[in-house]
Chains A and B, each alone.
Chain A
Amino acid sequence: MIPTVFSARRIITMDPSRPEATHVMVSHDGRILAVGGPEDMQDRGELHHDDRFADKVLMPGFVEGHAHMMEGSVWRFTYLGHYDRVAPDGRRWQGITSTNALVQRLRDRAAELGDGPVVGWGFDPLFVPGDRLSRLDLDRVSTTRPVVVLHSNMHLLTANSVALDLAGYDENTDVPGVIHTEDGELHGELHEMGAMFPVMRRVGASFRAMGGDPEAIWNFARSACRAGVTTSTDLLNELGDEVLADLFATTADAGYPLRLVPMLSALALPPEAVAARAKELRAQSTDRVRLGGVKIVTDGSIQGFTAQLLAPGYHRGTDNGIWNIAPEALNVLVDDLNRQGIQMHIHVNGDGASLAAIEALEAALAGHFRPDHRHVLQHCQMADRAQLRRIAALQCCVNLFANHLYYFGDKHYEITIGPERACRMNPCASALEMGIPLAIHSDAPITPLAPLVTAWCAVNRLTDSGRQLGTSERIPLDAALYAITLGAAHTLKLDAELGSVEVGKRADFAVLEDDPHALGPEHLREVRVWGTVFGGTPVAAGSF
């Protein structure tokens, strides 16, 4: 088989021994054979030359260290979010800025579908001026078909009269979470899962419908390719037999261009069964499905007021902090998984949760130290420098939620945690200063899957309104590019295999129209992505 040499305007390798190149030679089975200039490609026998990227910039394929497969499935519903957003099929959806625009979009969608329920997602009433979206607005979409709008936080929905009627709700319903207007009529808004469940199950919008069927797995790869991503986590998966079978079968297709790293949900199994299951899964890994890691969810979210916060707690609003696992049970689980050599990804949003995880890891690692364990604190948005010092001492990694700075930063500053803590949240610079291995993430579909945007967030720390949150926690452009490639690969224990353009590694590249260094830190998010090279094969965005 003849190797291929790709030439490019510039290759940013992320390999300090050869930071830049213009040519990369790739074997027929998708490995990098040589990196350098044209002179380095000579005397290698017969070569196939591919110059289609001669005016483009190559980087290592981006690694998304914290996203969800739901990015691939939620688009079966109609997007109603505030920010413009691109669907897996490439369609650009404009942000919704008024109730009329929302009604019109759902009407169009209803016409497109012909019959049956109309479901929207991603709606955030705080961004829409005027009266809060109600049943009556959605009755303008249809008075014969159920219409349901899921809010962006997934804790609320608004339903039209038909949908409410399906669930048996009327003005006499006295159920927590079923909201009435001042004059006693149904408002249409339903709060929390209990009240939402009867409606969602009757319109086919259950969370099961947002799982990882083959179409969702393909869509996830479509979104990834548009963003230059060649490896992505699916950071919480119960990994039942049916799901696994779909994953293996779908990704086995020769044209499937994404390495998936699903994390087993530790809370889906009895605690003593988790390690054994993780090992069993690890043994089933393929080159496109990497198994063996475990995810533990501790608290909720900051913007949902369900994160566990230390004093002084939330700036405004009511503390509804939740534990998904009791701190004592966390200690036992973390100790067992560490002892058995399982890498853990621990979801901690609030500083109360990160403290609980740090304490659990301290106890576990004191009892059984494992060199290079790479346990990762995920999100870890509110850890202060004292917590970071303990994380550094434990030799853990952090994967910080840099996108929050832009997408939720104003809310954090004004409402959830106040100016001081908002300005030090997602402390990328402090983490690097302390030598903590750093990744940054999108948590797609919570925010868009786009590592260059995530890197822009970490570099500039600007909110939607243009406020800068914590100038001293900004990181340099190169540090951010490292975080979305080798940094993220490190947190997945895949850094020996991907994350940089080096001989022996997989030929997974992000193909960029613009040079990030030429556009500069402030314009990083404007870098256009052509697509990817996956295992040596070029894959244009939108081509599959």
Chain B
Amino acid sequence: MAAALPVNLLCGYLGAGKTTLLNRLLDRQGERILVMVNDFGDIAVDAALIAGRSADTIQLSNGCICCSMGGGLFDAFERALSLRDRVDRLVIEASGVAEPRRLASFALAEPELDCRAVVAVADPQSLAERLTDPRIGRVAESQIRGADAVFLSRADIAGRAALRRAARLVARLNPLASQHLAPDGGFTQALAAPHDGRSLAALAPNPDHGRLFASRTIGLVPPPDRQQLVAIIDRHRRAVHRLKGYVLLPGSDGPQLLQLAGGVLSLDPAAPSEGMVANRLVAISPDADALAQLAADLAPAPSCAARPG
């Protein structure tokens, strides 16, 4: 049997810039991409925009098949799997009102699919307005919260202030996601990373369960040295489900990305993405007391209050 087919999911509300980003990905050489378009309810004519590329396109009817009782989504995945030999990657352009976790769950569950990064595309100029819209605010929020990487589109025309505001909004909703302004090398790397099934949104798919998990932002003031930091985290690695942030430690050459997932700690050289600040870690655990203990150990100074997810 062929290796599982890597899947990326692009989501984002109408007009966020999903199709533009997709086309820029398809412009690149060297990879055979299969595109599944779940965007026909939208205003943009996505199939036409994508036509003429080398990629195969599967047209997928919109919507929650369970409620519409159509077979669109099942069929589309079946067809994608039947083309496994001819393609290297499946990219799903989700409908503007799709919640990423609903689509990502297909790729997570099916052994023949390999769920890679879920990308939320957001238009910096309209993001704040979308998030407060009474009708679609919740969907827009779920898209940001469910993503591994957030692509802020139209960075060239959005003002610096709008970009900064959007970056802050995104970081507040989903502090674990990397942020990108261009489909550069860093973005390519983010795309290839596996979907983080332990992010807050994935752990707590609905608001009720969300109350079971607490997240806490912990400032490292002053930052401990590396050995000290690793020792403290090691004591907490069972109780804390997830820890992530950029650190600039005394004596080190430059910023590093610190991650704790599945009990494994890693520290790799990396620059903080837009909207993230060095020496501020985000921790998630079902146990708020464990988070308080970690915070106390890491930073004797007062840190932000714990808040429910």
A interface residues with partner B (beta carbon < 8 Å): 68, 70, 153-155, 167-168, 174-178, 192-195, 197-198, 200-201, 206-208, 210-211, 236, 238, 265, 267-272, 297, 299-301, 304, 306, 308, 318, 320-330, 332-333, 347, 352, 356
Instruction: Assess whether B68 is in contact with A297, with CB atoms less than 8 Å apart.
Output: yes
Give the docked Cα–Cα distance between A308 and B63 (Å): 14
User: A206-B78, A270-B47, A324-B41 given as contacts; is B68 within 8 A of A175 (CB)?
Assistant: no
Does B65 sit at the interface, judged by CB under 8 A? yes
Looking at B103-111, B163-171, B228-236, the stretch in contact with chain A turns out to be B103-111
Verify if B64 is at the interface (C-beta below 8 Å from A): yes
Q: List 19 A-B contacts (CB under 8 A).
A: A167-B111, A176-B105, A177-B105, A198-B109, A198-B110, A207-B65, A236-B68, A265-B68, A268-B61, A268-B72, A299-B67, A308-B135, A318-B207, A323-B135, A323-B136, A323-B139, A324-B64, A326-B14, A329-B41
| A268 cross-chain contacts in B, Cβ below 8 A | 40, 61-62, 70, 72
The stretch that binds A, out of B18-26, B94-102, B280-288, B295-303, is B94-102
Q: Count chain A CB atoms within 10 A of each CB in B47, B64, B78, B102 and give the residue with the most.
A: B64
Additional 18 contacts, C-beta under 8 A, given A194-B109, A268-B62, A271-B43: A177-B109, A178-B109, A192-B105, A193-B105, A194-B104, A207-B70, A210-B71, A268-B61, A272-B45, A297-B63, A297-B64, A301-B67, A318-B207, A322-B99, A325-B41, A325-B63, A333-B41, A352-B135
Evaluate whether A325 and B97 lie within 8 angstroms (CB atoms) in the complex, with A211-B71, A238-B70, A270-B40 already known: yes
- Contact between chains at A267 and B109 (CB < 8 Å): no
B14 touches A328 (CB 8 A): yes
Given contacts A208-B71, A306-B67, A326-B96, contact A197 B109 (CB under 8 A): yes
Return A308 CB to nearest CB of chain B, in Å: 8
Interface size for B (C-beta < 8 A) is 52
Specify the chain B residue showing the minimal Cβ separation from A328.
B14
A168 to B4 alpha-carbon distance, docked (Å): 13
Measured CB to CB, the residues of B under 8 A from A are 13-14, 40-43, 45-48, 61-75, 77-78, 95-97, 99, 101-111, 135-136, 138-139, 197, 202, 205-208
Q: How far is the CA of A155 from the CA of B135 in the complex (A)?
A: 24
Q: A167-B111, A320-B206 are in contact. Are A329 and B63 (CB under 8 A)?
A: no
Which residues of A have CB within 8 Å of B65? 193, 207
Residue of chain B at shortest CB distance from A177: B105
Determine which residue in A195, A267, A347 has the highest number of CB atoms from chain B within 10 A of its CB, and name it: A267
Measured CA separation A272–B71 after assembly (Å)? 22
Task: Return A246 CB to nearest CB of chain B, in Å.
Answer: 15
From residue A178, how far is it (CB to closest CB) to chain B in Å? 7
- For B135, the chain A residues whose CB sits under 8 A away are 308, 323, 327, 352, 356
Contact A208 B74 (CB under 8 A): yes
A198: chain B residues within 8 A (beta carbon):
109-111
B45 to chain A: which residues have CB within 8 Å?
A: 270, 272
Contacts of B75 in A (CB 8 A): 206-208
A200–B73 alpha-carbon span in the complex (Å): 13
CA distance A238 to B65 in the complex (A): 12
Task: Give Cα A177 to B42, complex, Å.
Answer: 28
Docked-complex contact B72 and A154, CB < 8 angstroms: no
CA distance A30 to B14 in the complex (A): 51
Residues A193 and B202 in contact, CB atoms below 8 Å apart: no
Nearest B residue (CB) for A166: B111
Question: Which residue of chain B has its CB nearest to the CB of A237?
Answer: B70
CA distance A15 to B40 in the complex (A): 44
* CA A220 to CA B85, docked complex, whole Å: 39
The 6 closest A-B pairs by CB, nearest first: A194-B105, A324-B63, A207-B71, A267-B62, A325-B41, A268-B61
Task: State the CA gap A111–B226 with chains docked (Å).
Answer: 66
Rounded to whole Å, the gap between the CB of A263 and the closest CB of chain B is: 11
Q: Which residue of A lies closest to B42 (CB)?
A: A329
Contacts of B41 in A (CB 8 A): 267, 271, 324-326, 329-330, 333
CB of A168 within 8 A of CB of B111, answer yes
Q: Which residues of B contact A300 (CB under 8 A)?
A: 64, 66-67
Find out whether the CB atom of B40 lies under 8 angstroms from the CB atom of A267. yes
